[in-house]
Amino acid sequence: TTTLSEYPDPPYREEAMYLKAKAAFKLAENSVAELQIERFIEANTALNDLEEIYPESEYLRELRKLTK
C-alpha cells in the first residue's frame, strides 16, 4: 500500500501526488522499450489525478515538461 491510499487526505497530499507522478515519469523514461508505453500511461494517470484534485497546482507545469 501507499501513503496516499492509507491516508487519503494527509497534510502534504498535493506534494505526495506530485512526487508520485514525477517518479512514474522517470521510471517510464528509464524503462526497457517493452514496458515504456504501460509506464507512461501510469505516469499520465498520476498527472491527471493531480490535475483533477489540484487544478491550480504549481507542480503541474513541471510535470507537463516531463511529458514532452
8 vs 39 pLDDT, higher one: 39
Task: Using the Cα atoms of residue 27, residue 23, residue 44 and residue 59 in order, give the sign of their dihedral.
Answer: negative
Q: Which residues contact 68 (CB under 8 A, 6 or more apart)?
A: none
Range 50-55 average pLDDT: 96
Q: Binning pLDDT at 50, 70 and 90, where does residue 1 land?
A: very low
What is the pLDDT at residue 3?
67
Residue 18 lies in domain: 3-66
Number of domains in the chain: 1
Q: Which three cell numbers stand for residue 18?
A: 506530485
Q: Is 19 exposed, middle or buried (0-12, 13-18, 19+ CB in 10 A)?
A: middle
What is the pLDDT at residue 68?
73
